[in-house]
């Protein structure tokens, strides 16, 4: 059976346009899939005592020069943010992070303020040339989120996505 070219072309376009929709389908709602975390019996390794059994994903012997007795849990100011070291996304509530900035504002220092007429907004790119990176001495007290970095703008601090420069969060006046 010979099919007309138009029919074959239309079928190909339909398949190509439907494939992204299939991949974007919502997860299985029946509750018996592998990603169901609503309770019940879990399979696989259990998380004992809240410790991540994978470690910090740095591999053996890679302690970034801290040595064996200088883990993040023994450094001052790191206890509250230790769980953010494993590549987690930034939190929705930056209350504890604000407190950390205010406790260490003398070490972090203020940045150069934005000139009049230049405004930053969450979800928009940081204007080029604005926002000074924090030095390593300041970063030791702050949580680290993979793919994001802290920038200082006057008395404000912003968290931006490294690849795109999009502002994720603005902490107004934390360095006052």
Question: Which range (126-130, 158-162, 168-172) has the least confidence?
Answer: 126-130
Q: Are 167 and 126 in contact (CB under 8 A)?
A: yes
Mean pLDDT for all residues in the chain: 70
Predicted pLDDT at 129: 82
What would the pLDDT profile of 68-126 be if each residue is shown by its tens digit? 444 444 444 444 444 444 457 777 778 888 888 888 888 888 888 888 888 888 999 98
Predicted pLDDT at 1: 62
Predicted pLDDT at 66: 43
Instruction: Name the percent of the chain lying above pLDDT 90.
Output: 8
State both tokens at 9: 């072309």
**Backbone angles phi and psi of 156, in degrees to 5:** -105, 155
Q: In terms of C-beta density within 10 A (0-12 exposed, 13-18 middle, 19 or more buried), how is residue 97 classed?
A: buried
Domains of the chain: 84-176 (3.10.450.160)
Length of the chain measured in residues: 176
Q: Which residues pair with 160 in a beta bridge?
A: 149, 167
């Amino acid at each position: 059976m010979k099919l007309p070219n138009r029919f074959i072309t239309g079928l190909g376009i339909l398949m190509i346009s439907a494939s992204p929709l299939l991949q974007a389908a919502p997860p299985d709602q029946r509750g018996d899939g592998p990603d169901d975390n609503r309770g019940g019996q879990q399979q696989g390794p259990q998380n004992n005592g809240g410790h991540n059994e994978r470690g910090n994903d740095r591999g053996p012997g890679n302690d970034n020069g801290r040595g064996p007795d200088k883990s993040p849990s023994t450094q001052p100011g790191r206890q509250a943010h230790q769980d953010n070291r494993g590549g987690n996304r930034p939190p929705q509530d930056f209350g504890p992070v604000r407190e950390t900035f205010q406790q260490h504002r003398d070490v972090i220092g203020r940045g150069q303020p934005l000139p009049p007429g230049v405004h930053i907004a969450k979800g928009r790119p940081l204007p080029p040339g604005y926002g000074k990176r924090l030095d390593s001495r300041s970063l030791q007290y702050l949580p680290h989120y993979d793919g994001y970095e802290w920038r200082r703008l006057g008395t404000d601090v912003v968290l931006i996505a490294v690849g795109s420069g999009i502002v994720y969060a603005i902490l107004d006046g934390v360095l006052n």
